[in-house]
Amino acid sequence: MITGDAAYIKKINRSFIIKEIIKEGMISRADLSKVTALTRATISAQVADLLEEGLIVETMLEHNTVGRKPIMLSLNGQAGYALGIDLDYGKISFSLSDLLGQLVHSTIIEINTTEYTEILQILLEQMKKYQAEYTDSRYGIVGAAISIHGLVAKDEVIHFIPRLGWNEIDLKNDLKKEISIDVYIENNANLSSFAERVYCHHETENLLCATLYSGIGLGMMMKNDFFRGHDGFAGEAGHMIIVPEGRPCKCGNKGCWERYASESSIFEYLAEKKQIKNLSYEHIQNWLDEGDEEVMELMEQSIYYLSIGLNNMINMYNPDVLVLDSELLRMYPDALEKIKGNLHSFMSHYRELSISSIGKKSCILGACAMAIKHFLDVPMLNLPYETGKLNVN
């Protein structure tokens, strides 16, 4: 039983109610009372507040039976917008979603600088632009979450971004000095794992998501929260050594997992071998369609090394669900079955191993969902994943 002062209990009850409304999509007051174990009087009072605040709406369902038409409650997705930002080397992606996590606008800005002050100004300019343009809803921009491809401490200070050369950067505080939007800073792999949990794996409390693009990052959801480690730097699985004295890595070690199993390692090898400067996924897809033996052998080798690392992750964390986020794995025939075939240990236990259906959007969707979660102040979100129409500039 939850105990505490009246204001605290009211806040907790409100959180439970919003969470269940989002989870069910549409639900009646009577059913809300059943699933939350709250009295009908409590439900009525809380619902009245939420309706007045414009966070939920009522819908009267048509039905053919005798009696009153049921009145259903649902979240008002148009009450505000969440801004997700993916800060990556060479580009910054901005996406806006409604409060149901559905993307309504997206733009990508190419950048040719790694200077912090210049990138900070780009972020501020775009965030202010979104804030000014989306004032048609009651709450406007409810928050912004920024994805960082590097180490983020528990206090949200950026400890290190290898490709940008940033160390100990307090981006959150610098943004707050210039803009009134609530800002959250998070590691990109964590946000990808959050998106997988929020949009796809609603019944999963323990989930790992390995992102394989520019390196290998591991987002870890344990009991519906991030597993961060002592300082917040947990999840750098890409720098686990799987080949002693192997290929040199930018981290300073040799034989790191991402040097053998990430997409960047495959692109790097093929770009040099094939003498193609701007190698693309289309190049690799064509080679796979043609049955290029060298490319096929490289993919098989990458899957072998990927499986070694996954075996270690499974044994260490015993996840319920393990998601792999990789465009190349989606392209390569029977990649998932090949990986599963390499996991022979009787010690390894997991319920589901899958390739992400969200793909590269997972990071920025996770960022939008993170801003929504903080705004609504709920313990977890269960949002529908719909492709929808997206305006991209």
Per residue of the chain (393 residues), give pLDDT as tens. 455 588 899 999 999 999 999 999 999 999 999 999 999 999 999 999 999 999 999 987 765 566 567 799 999 999 999 999 999 999 999 999 999 999 999 999 999 999 999 999 999 999 999 999 999 899 999 999 999 999 999 999 999 998 899 999 999 999 999 999 999 999 999 999 999 999 999 989 899 999 999 889 999 999 989 998 888 888 889 999 999 999 999 888 999 999 999 999 999 999 999 999 899 999 999 999 999 999 999 999 999 999 999 999 998 888 999 999 999 999 999 999 999 999 887 666 788 999 999 998 999 999 999 999 999 999 999 998 875 444 444
**How many Cα atoms are found within 13 Å in the side-chain-facing hemisphere of 143?**
21
Determine the pLDDT at residue 67.
59
Determine the pLDDT at residue 392.
40
Determine the pLDDT at residue 23.
93
Dist CA 8 CA 4 (whole Å)? 6
Determine the pLDDT at residue 3.
53
**pTM (2 d.p.):** 0.91
Determine the pLDDT at residue 348.
64
Determine the pLDDT at residue 73.
96
| H or E element, residue 83 | strand 81-88
Determine the pLDDT at residue 69.
72
Dist CA 349 CA 347 (whole Å)? 6
Domains in the chain with CATH codes:
6-75 (1.10.10.10), 79-193+361-392 (3.30.420.40), 204-356 (3.30.420.40)
- Residue 243 DSSP SS3: coil
Determine the pLDDT at residue 14.
95
Q: Which residues pair with 222 in a beta bridge?
A: 225
Cα dihedral: 298, 299, 303, 309 (round 10): 60
Distances, alpha carbon 175 to alpha carbons 91, 117, 178, 199, in Å: 18, 11, 5, 28
**How many Cα atoms are found within 13 Å in the side-chain-facing hemisphere of 89?**
11
Determine the pLDDT at residue 389.
43
Contact present, 145 and 132 (Cβ < 8 Å): no
Question: In the 8-state DSSP scheme, what is residue 197?
Answer: I
**Ramachandran region of residue 95, left (φ > 0), alpha (ψ -120 to 50) or beta?**
beta
Determine the pLDDT at residue 172.
98
